[in-house]
Amino acid sequence: MIPEPAPAAAISPARPPTVARMFGRIAPRYDLLNTLMTFGLDAGWRRRAVAAAALRPDGRALDVGTGTGALALALARAAPRAQVIGVDFAPAMVVRAPARVARAGVAAHAWFAQADALRLPFPDASFDCVTSAFVMRNVADLGQAFREQARVLRPGGRVVCVELTRPRQPVFRHLFAWYFHRWVPLLGAVVAGDAAAYTYLPESVDRFPAPSALTDVMREAGLRAVRHELLGLGTVSLHVGHAR
């Protein structure tokens, strides 16, 4: 039997412990579901994020909301002498990341820890780039999260944010909404046994600022020259901002 989707109020980014538990439940199937939901396109979006981050070969990167370490691994592969640190507030997710980078042979320069995106445990100007992928719509205070990312950036450093967004083209927007609100919860129920988590996913995208509004949030957080581009037929936004 397929579980009934949870109501919108059951899981909210304003309730971080609830969100952390939700991600803990779906951790074993998280990567598989991402691949299935995006038809395998998520790997290419991460590569675009790595290119936008422009991490120096010997630089230092922070991946916020690293989850199981997919984007951190991509950064480590692209800059083999760099130091990459991934943090996430869901322990059941981040505990899977070290084995992932070990299998890829880059464990010597990729580390992971549990941490809150709103209170990053690093000194000012610690990193050359700060990345996140499909994370920021889950934080309780978007402006504070970006202020923290700007704080730990070195002069000239970059913040790179990849997020889901609603397409602007009317016909595709309706098709995307149907797919996301109908089929994604069904897929989550069948593959991960958790319809509630994959009901939260499209609802969190509905609540999240549009790309132009997200650009304004990043600027107000202290980043400059913020730009964005749309990927995946307008379903994904890639934002890049620079340290002042």
Go through the domains of the chain in sequence order and give each one's CATH number: 8-242 (3.40.50.150)
Q: What is the pLDDT of residue 10?
A: 34
2 has a pLDDT exceeding 70: no
Q: What is the pLDDT of residue 86?
A: 98
pLDDT averaged over every residue in the chain: 89
DSSP E strands in the chain: the ranges are 60-64, 83-88, 110-114, 127-133, 153-164, 224-231, 236-242
Q: What is the pLDDT of residue 16?
A: 66
DSSP assigned state of 89: S
Buried residues in 115-153 as b, exposed as e (16+ CB within 10 A): bbbbebebeeebbbbbbbbbbbbbbeebeebbbbbbbbb
Q: What is the pLDDT of residue 25?
A: 85
Q: What is the pLDDT of residue 5?
A: 30
13 has a pLDDT exceeding 80: no
Reported as half-sphere exposure (CB side, CA atoms, 13 A), residue 239 has a value of 28
- pLDDT by residue (tens digit) across 54-96? 999 999 999 999 999 999 999 999 998 999 999 999 999 999 9
Q: What is the pLDDT of residue 12?
A: 40
Residue reference for tokens 């990341």: 97
Provide the CA 26 distance to its chain's centre, in angstroms.
Answer: 15
Q: Model's pTM, two decimal places?
A: 0.89
99 has a pLDDT exceeding 90: yes
Quickly state the pLDDT bin for 128 (edges 50, 70, 90): very high
Q: What is the pLDDT of residue 180?
A: 86
What's the CA gap between 235 and 244, in Å, rounded? 29
- pLDDT by residue (tens digit) across 145-191? 999 999 999 999 999 999 999 998 888 888 888 888 888 888 888 88
Reported as half-sphere exposure (CB side, CA atoms, 13 A), residue 111 has a value of 8
